[in-house]
Chain A
Amino acid sequence: QSVLTQPPSVSGAPGQRVTFSCTGSSSNIGAGYDVYWYQQLPGTAPKLLIYANKNRPSGVPDRFSGSKSGTSASLAITGLQAEDEADYYCQCYDTSLSGVVFGGGTKLTVL
């Protein structure tokens, strides 16, 4: 069981908007630590998608956006495309564990 909770799956049709939730606690997200999001396409290594809650690395389309509030964070994808089909992971630092923690990941299916 992961320290950060993510729904196992999300789906949407091309062109739609989908959101991914990431729920933590007072020892990680709620403690003020930044949240990071990664995209893992099938058979490949993860890739940093969002850093420090809402910032996009160079090359990441502005269709991807992140936010954080309280003990939770969210990732949104607008204008869904078939190539977005992947697993998405949130990540944060946890002060109780003195380490980095990941969510269990959410699998996005583009219908």
Chain B
Amino acid sequence: QVQLVESGGGVVQPGRSLRLSCAASGYTFSNHGMHWVRQAPGKGLEWVAVIWYDGSKTYYADSVKGRFTISRDDSKNTLYLQMNSLRAEDTAVYYCATDGGNFHSGSSHMNVWGKGTTVTVSS
């Protein structure tokens, strides 16, 4: 069955960097766009970034633009999120999810989710 497993979370000081990974299995990873979505403690869902199925395009929420980079390695069936210049407000559970639609046409949505990895930014 389709499975997404995030890793790489932890406690990090403000201003430092962290890289999250999302290992995919049970489907053809290279055929699907991928998202990162985060959820701060006690708060709602916030979309972070998307990467197209072929890695040719990436889009980001304004809150992370210029600091975060989404990428993928189809040979490893793995999605990444490089997070630089981390701030306290980046503290959240980070979920990866498959795109069940098409970002270009505006039909992007998350049809399979991982269980999430927790990032805490604190001194």
Asked if B27 is at the interface (CB within 8 A of a chain A CB), the reply is no
Docked complex: A81-100 residues within 8 A CB-CB of B = 87, 89, 91, 93, 95, 97-100
User: Which residues of B have CB within 8 Å of A51?
Assistant: 100, 109, 111
Asked if B20 is at the interface (CB within 8 A of a chain A CB), the reply is no
- Decide: B106 and A48 in contact? CB cutoff 8 A: no
Number of A-B residue pairs having CB atoms within 8 Å of each other in the complex? 70
User: Which residues of A have CB within 8 Å of B37?
Assistant: 46
- Decide: B47 and A48 in contact? CB cutoff 8 A: no
Q: Mark A32-49, 1 if CB is under 8 A from B, else 0.
A: 011010101000111110
Could you tell me the distance between the alpha carbons of A101 and B35 in the complex, rounded to whole angstroms? 12
Asked if A103 is at the interface (CB within 8 A of a chain B CB), the reply is yes
User: Which residues of B have CB within 8 Å of A87?
Assistant: 44
User: Which residues of B have CB within 8 Å of A48?
Assistant: 100, 109-113
A47 to chain B, nearest CB (A): 7
Cβ-closest chain B residue relative to A36: B109
User: Which residues of A have CB within 8 Å of B100?
Assistant: 48, 51
- Decide: A105 and B111 in contact? CB cutoff 8 A: no
Asked if A52 is at the interface (CB within 8 A of a chain B CB), the reply is yes
- 9 A-B contact pairs sorted by A residue (CB < 8 Å): A34-B106, A34-B109, A38-B110, A48-B109, A91-B109, A93-B108, A99-B62, A100-B109, A102-B46
* B residues in contact (CB < 8 Å) with A: 35, 37, 44-47, 50, 59-62, 95, 100-101, 103, 106-116
